[in-house]
Structure 1
Amino acid sequence: MTLNQPIRIAVLGTHSTGKTTLLKRIEMELRGHGVTVARTGRFAKRAAALGLPKMQHHTALSTEWIITQGIADEVAATASGVHVVLIDRAALDALAYLHAALEFRGEQLNRLENERLRLLASTQLPKYDLLLATVLDPAIPVDVGHDYDARYRTLVNVHTHDLLISEQIPHQRVTSDPVSQARAIERALDLCLQEAAV
């Protein structure tokens, strides 16, 4: 299979809603069909290692770093010549986390700064061949090892889906239901394997 540009499949959604697990399952299936795959991710942990705030402490600076680092990682993955790039946290995800953090803290961002970050995130949207948006299921308990603020986690979920709807961004919602998960994986496989057959 020879492609000028890889297929890009991105996921976004609030924390502990199965984003990474979903991409791992897609990756395993694709590799089983002989498709080469690269996966980006771990942006929040990498940002924290640099001393940048995360979760409800997100700022414009940490948001900009996550978006631009995601772009850089995606470019590096593309340059490596793989067939598919799996993006663990689409650029818009960082914006949803920031908006949720600002609401959580009762703060507002300067209008021009907000617009600048929105435009930066939006530059990546046309590159995604498939965008998967996980949906929070409050009935599923979070791993006890994670000390997540439940209100902030819910705010991220709300802002994620509000952004997708208000910007009219094509996406597939993925709930915790196994059927919904299977549909997302099937759609990703169909997209990649159809391209491989061309």
Structure 2
Amino acid sequence: MTPTTIRIGVCGAHSTGKSTLIRSIERELRRRGIAVQRTGQLGARAAQVPLPRLQHHTVESTRWVLAAGMADEITSTMRLDDAPVRVLLAEPACWDAIAYFRAALEWRGETAPRTEREALRRLADAHTPYDLLFATVLDPSFPVNAKHGYDARYRQLVDQHTHMLLREEALPYVRVTNNDASQALAIEHALHCAKEALA
């Protein structure tokens, strides 16, 4: 019997709980004996290349993030065992890179050639679809560690472009706030997705 791989991704502005949510889902899946792998740390790796980040994103840095993230997902899937149901947790999901790029352009008051924008979109669209996609919601009142030096306007733009992009692409997704009830419901969505595959 061919194993079923469930792909779960998360998008959203930085410091809105993406990693916390994915770690919580991973923990709950492992508690139930479900094989799971998680991707991450793309931002830190991009900084080591080094590539422009956050509000300084370019077409090339966005293409790198997309390609590296997709490669990570493929590699992580290969590491999963032959259990009947395996789960891949992608943090961030590939669409995240495009939202960050679009937000960076608006933040800088710039545009990019339509051919470049379409090429990035096609790259993301060609990737294996996610079975479940989450998008965190920015809460401007939620405290962020000052050492990060995040630009508040850019975070707001990333949040706006994330939800706008997912709607434009007609991608079903679940909005997740930093409210405990919303986080718990998101975890339940992920568990339900895995349980359905087991049934």
* Bucket of the pairwise TM-score, normalised by the shorter protein: over 0.9
Name the TM-score, length of structure 1 as normaliser. Answer: 0.95
The DSSP-based 3-state class of the residue aligned with 1:195 is helix
CA contact under 8 A between 1:91 and 1:122: conserved in structure 2?
no
C-alpha separation in 1, matches of 2:78 and 2:96: 23
CA contact under 8 A between 2:176 and 2:186: conserved in structure 1?
yes
* Structure 1 vs Structure 2 CA RMSD: 1.2
C-alpha separation in 1, matches of 2:40 and 2:89: 9
Aligned twin of 1:122: 125
C-alpha separation in 2, matches of 1:3 and 1:37: 16
Aligned twin of 2:77: 78
The answer for unaligned runs of 5 or more in structure 2 is none
C-alpha separation in 1, matches of 2:174 and 2:57: 26
CA contact under 8 A between 2:36 and 2:80: conserved in structure 1?
no
The DSSP-based 3-state class of the residue aligned with 2:9 is strand
CA contact under 8 A between 2:99 and 2:162: conserved in structure 1?
yes
| Cα deviation, residue 44, structure 1 | 1.2
Name the TM-score, length of structure 2 as normaliser. Answer: 0.94
Q: Letter of the 1:35 partner, please give it.
A: I
The DSSP-based 3-state class of the residue aligned with 1:168 is coil
C-alpha separation in 2, matches of 1:71 and 1:25: 22
Aligned twin of 2:62: 63
Structure 2 residue 18 is matched with structure 1 residue 15:
no
The answer for unaligned runs of 5 or more in structure 1 is none
C-alpha separation in 2, matches of 1:98 and 1:155: 10
Q: Letter of the 1:38 partner, please give it.
A: Q
Identity %, equivalent residues? 51
* Superposition map of 1:41-120 within 5 A: 41-82=40-81, 83-120=86-123
User: Of 114, 132, 135, which aligns to 1:133?
Assistant: 135
The DSSP-based 3-state class of the residue aligned with 2:143 is coil
The DSSP-based 3-state class of the residue aligned with 1:34 is coil
Aligned twin of 1:27: 26
Q: Letter of the 1:32 partner, please give it.
A: R
C-alpha separation in 2, matches of 1:132 and 1:106: 28
The DSSP-based 3-state class of the residue aligned with 1:6 is strand
* Superposition map of 1:172-191 within 5 A: 172-191=174-193
CA contact under 8 A between 1:5 and 1:78: conserved in structure 2?
no
Cα distance, 1:111–1:29 mapped onto 2, change above 3 Å: same
| Cα deviation, residue 45, structure 1 | 1.0
CA contact under 8 A between 2:16 and 2:139: conserved in structure 1?
yes
CA contact under 8 A between 2:4 and 2:197: conserved in structure 1?
no
C-alpha separation in 2, matches of 1:65 and 1:21: 24
Aligned twin of 1:158: 160
Aligned pair count reads 195
| Cα deviation, residue 3, structure 1 | 4.8
